[in-house]
Amino acid sequence: METHDTQPTNAGVIKRIRQACANCRRRKVKCSGERPVCTHCRQSRRSCVYEPYSVTAGETGTTVPRVSNATISVCFNGPFDGLPPPEVIQSLIDTYFTRVHNQPYSFFHRTSFYASLSTMSIPRCLLFAVLAYAVRFSDQPYFVGKVQQASDAYSRQSWLCVIEDHLSVDNNLDLSVIQTVTLLAIVDYTAARISSGWLRLGLAIRLSQDVDLMSEPSFFSPPTEREERRRTFWSIYLVDKLISCARSRPAAVADDDCTLHLPCNEDVFQDRGEDGENVPTLRQVLSWDVPLANPPSPFGLAVVATSIFGRCTKYAHGRSAGEMLTPLDPQSDFALTNASLLLLESYLKNQDQPILDLVQNGPADTNIDEKQVGHLVFSHALFHLCYCLLNHPFLIRLRLRPIAARVPKSFASNAFHAAQENARKLTDLLVAGTTGVYDSQRYYQKCIEVLERLGVLWPMVPNMLTKLREFDANSESYAHLFNAACLAEELDGIAENTLWSLVDYGMLAREVPGNSPAHVSFLSNLPSPSKWIPGGDYMATSPTSEARNGLLFVGTQEPLTRL
């Protein structure tokens, strides 16, 4: 028979803890009750967890109960192998909703999450996953100099909880597990653990399909739960399309399978849960012919932009099934994707406040919550990035090479101009509306500065910086890409692989092997430099600085996303 210990805490909370650990209870074996690791768990080398039996919240309703590392502990010996102190947990959760929520992913109803936190009824796997994500943005002295160590430790414990508490037990799968695995996929991918992030995302997608998350939730569920299901699915959708921005990683979620409504406005979600039938579906928003009762919410716009971005990257990376038409054909994927971008532009132009003013000065409309700004910026960033990829000089050349002799020079020149113009607008967005006329070198330097700042938070970014700087050192070799008269010119294998590495998100994020002979010169044996003739007067004047123009077309959305 199990006994219970009762302890008062400084937070005014009473917690009753079962003597038997969760592992022994689940396997119905006698537990020695030793803390932090019982005899059975030590012998079997399993995690040993003592869960709260019941918790009564204090008067504030938001105070985190004091849970010692003996209460929730995993069989490791590091400084972050248990939950941090309650005040640190509270700080990290606050950081999550300030720095992560709606940027661009949205998993939780804030009030409900804090209510669960106050009673420690949040599943262990989910709590550890949120801590692993939020700690990167924390200024808590508790983590000084050990942010990545803490993130890795919390991520590891979260994953162990998923396996032992949910995936190893029948009928123990709920929305929190799907949210957990998705968060862990993001944490891994942005920590440059590319394969691990990709595999965990695949699991999250399968779990979401297992509970039919891509369909409208039951009407009998509370409104808040229904909208949280929708937002969790659409967050998975965003991660899938962003991580799949690589030739070797096709997206797993098809647009035709997404029949649920898009997310409602943030204020509606936080106030009453959902907006019912007034919210359109993705298919409706992507159609020119369907009249909409209401425009998509900022999060809905982010989903629409991501859908078009997914089609764009699929085309750019040559994964369009049966695509035999050239970009000049009005029925080609190139032309159809451009038409979709015009539709997206019509939604973006409906915003009363210019996006740069919104970023620089905040929302002028009191009806726009500041947390919605992240989705609007994200949508504009993907909009410009799509044009950069569709019109990237390297990718345009690959498409036009078979018919280069018949391609009007004006088509290639216009494409190169569109790529450069949208790259400049994207860079302006990164630096929050910096004014003044920049030459290409200054635009490049601004991008590098943004990436250097992000590199402190995202371990994958330094890998990108390494490749970009190596490319910059040899960018004169690619001047002919902007010459519309040179479409038929062949690139050698090394040069082509180098260019692919700048438009393939997976290759760009991967670490350059330090011991590889190729690492001595990442861009060795490049074609000899040719005169920088970009094909139009719209380029800047200095050959030295203009040689860096190619860096505006690297095709990475990292500065404005969490991936």
Predicted confidence (pLDDT) at residue 461 exceeds the cutoff of 80: yes
Q: Where are the domains of the chain?
A: 4-176, 391-563
Q: Model pTM? A: 0.72
Predicted confidence (pLDDT) per residue in 544-558, tens digit: 333 333 333 333 333
Mean pLDDT of the chain: 78
Q: Are strands 4-8 and 52-56 parallel, antiparallel or unpaired?
A: unpaired
pLDDT digits 0-9 by tens, 210-232: 999 999 998 888 999 999 999 99
Least confident of 197-211, 290-304, 328-342, 464-478: 464-478
Compute the average pLDDT of residues 441-463.
Answer: 83
First to last CA, the chain: 49
Q: C-alpha angle 71/76/78, rounded to 5°?
A: 100
Token couple for 108: 């939780």
DSSP E strands: which ranges in 443-527? none
Q: Which of 130, 239, 225 is nearest to 190 (CA)?
A: 239
Query: Is a pLDDT exceeding 60 seen at residue 52?
Result: no
Q: Of the ranges 37-41, 195-199, 335-339, 383-387, which one carries the lowest mean pLDDT score?
A: 37-41
Sheet of strand 52-56, all strands in order from the earlier edge strand to the far edge: 4-8, 14-18, 52-56
Predicted pLDDT at 561: 40
What's residue 438's pLDDT?
Answer: 52
